[in-house]
Chain A
Amino acid sequence: MFHAFDNAGPNRQISRPEWMALLARAPQDLLDGALAAHVDMPPLWLRKPETGLMMVQGRAGGTGERFNLGEITVTRCALRLAADTPVGVAWVLGRSHRQAQMAAVADALLQDPAQRERLETQLLMPVRQHLQDLKAQRHARAQTTKVDFLTVAREAGGDDEGDEA
């Protein structure tokens, strides 16, 4: 069954690709708030944050031929919080080294089952909420420009009634 990455679902274990996708979209203030204990702690860098370009490809209509849509800036990093602990990795849009670092810290912490529950409620849920709010806002803004073509057609149909008859 298909699950979107921002849809928690009941009693479903979140997988690493899903939380990495969430963290990549998490705004800086949510990350800093949930990871306050790690904000000032220098991590052990495996790969310091570095910014580069990636080519985004699209398909016409979602199924057609691939085409290059354009380039985006991406910042990536990899780190450990302490020796012999899991590696946290993050790839985020934009040039904020800080955001990439905090996303990687969160990824490293989430791999520790003892931390997962706390972060799930303090970080992942707010991020999901934030993304849903954004989506709702965009949706609402788009709705104001909606044109009800049915009404137009009916009015036009009413005017032209005589021609058709």
Chain B
Amino acid sequence: MNAPDLRNIVAGFDNEAFGSQAVFRAALDALSHPGRPLDMPLNTALPRQGHCAAAALLLGLLDADTPLWLSPLLADSDAAGWLRFHTGCPIVADPAAAQFLWVAQGDEMPALSSLSLGSDACPDQSATCVLEVNSLQADIAGWRLQGPGIAGERHLRVKRLPQDFVAQWHANHAGFPRGVDVFLCTATQIAGLPRTTRILPAQES
């Protein structure tokens, strides 16, 4: 077993119990109100690389049973050792083998269809993808979201997503009950996109 290099590692939650509970609450809120940007409680020391909200989210969710895949920018950074030290999560090189994925801004997102989608009997075993984006705004010029957890429609404008994200998302949504769930993270906010949510283009006006 390779011990992580501790030289650049910083501390975790200020208070393990309250910190991880606050993160878990935020993650639940984000998935039960898809597309609503939520402030992430950041009661933790953070690595230099990666968006703070994404780092805190993963610090709260990971444990020794959840293989993690990191995009190249993160895999070589202090963020990898930090998560490994504090959560004990195994870090895998193959995106398809991971239960959680953290894609840094500027790195290419692995195709959603190539990730672990779960099975019809156990759709809960699918991957959760944490995507870093520039900004999240509840803006009428953005997507129109529909689905469970949304009364009518919700607007969400996301900056800096892969070009074909919406097309990939349609395929992901069509595979229900199988499919991945996505968290969009800025430096301070998160928004959940569970596989049940439909993305419609902005309304022509």
Interface residues of chain A, those whose CB is within 8 Å of chain B, are 44-48, 78, 86-87, 89
Contacts and interface: CB of A to CB of B under 8 A. Distances in A.
Contact of B86 (A47, A87, A89): A47
Q: Taking chain A's interface residues, is the majority helix, strand, or loop, or is none over half, making it mixed?
A: strand
Nearest to B6: A87
Contact of A78 (B6, B7, B16): B6
Interface of B: 6-7, 9-12, 16, 85-86
B17 to A, nearest CB: 11
Q: Taking chain B's interface residues, is the majority helix, strand, or loop, or is none over half, making it mixed?
A: loop
A45 B6 contact: no
Contact of B7 (A44, A48, A87): A87
A154 B10 CA distance: 70
B136 to A, nearest CB: 32
A47 B12 contact: yes
18 contacts: A44-B11, A45-B11, A46-B6, A46-B10, A46-B11, A46-B12, A46-B85, A47-B11, A47-B12, A47-B86, A78-B6, A78-B85, A86-B6, A86-B7, A87-B6, A87-B7, A87-B9, A89-B6
Which has the most chain A C-beta neighbours within 10 Å: B7, B11, B12, B86?
B11
